Amino acid sequence: MERKEINPWTWQDERHYAQAIEVKNPERTLYISGQTAIDANGISSTADFKSQLLLSIANLEEVLVKAGYKNTDITRITLYTTSFDELGQNFGTIQEWIVSNNIRTAITVVEVSKLFETTVVELEATAAK
């Protein structure tokens, strides 16, 4: 597989993402449903935003591992949140995860009025290898 970042500018570098990721000749592609702060027993979290974000990340990683992928295989993330304000206060958490795992991905952030049950953040991803 060939993977190429496309960045007409440099300003996205400090935010740790790419404007586009081109993938040529992937062997496999994984489309991951939105991962929220739901525990292994199917119980939705009522915890604070940061705790929910961390559990959503952990759930995303668990799906990747179960499918035989790594974090670095992620090519796209769509992050849904019920609050841009709370996401802004906790954006360092997701950036730290991206940087510490050497993830280079296209990313979109969308504010929505409601997510599943009591969840406040959801991560949907695509991975290729």
pLDDT of residue 119: 98
pTM: 0.93
Per residue in 69-107, pLDDT (tens digit) is: 999 999 999 999 999 999 999 999 999 999 999 999 999
Tokens of 93: 């958490």
Taking the C-alpha atoms of residue 55 and residue 33, their distance in angstroms, rounded to an integer, is: 15
pLDDT of residue 25: 94
Taking the C-alpha atoms of residue 69 and residue 80, their distance in angstroms, rounded to an integer, is: 22
Per residue in 20-42, pLDDT (tens digit) is: 999 999 999 999 999 999 999 99
User: Which domains are present in the chain?
Assistant: 1-128 (3.30.1330.40)
Taking the C-alpha atoms of residue 63 and residue 85, their distance in angstroms, rounded to an integer, is: 28
pLDDT of residue 99: 95
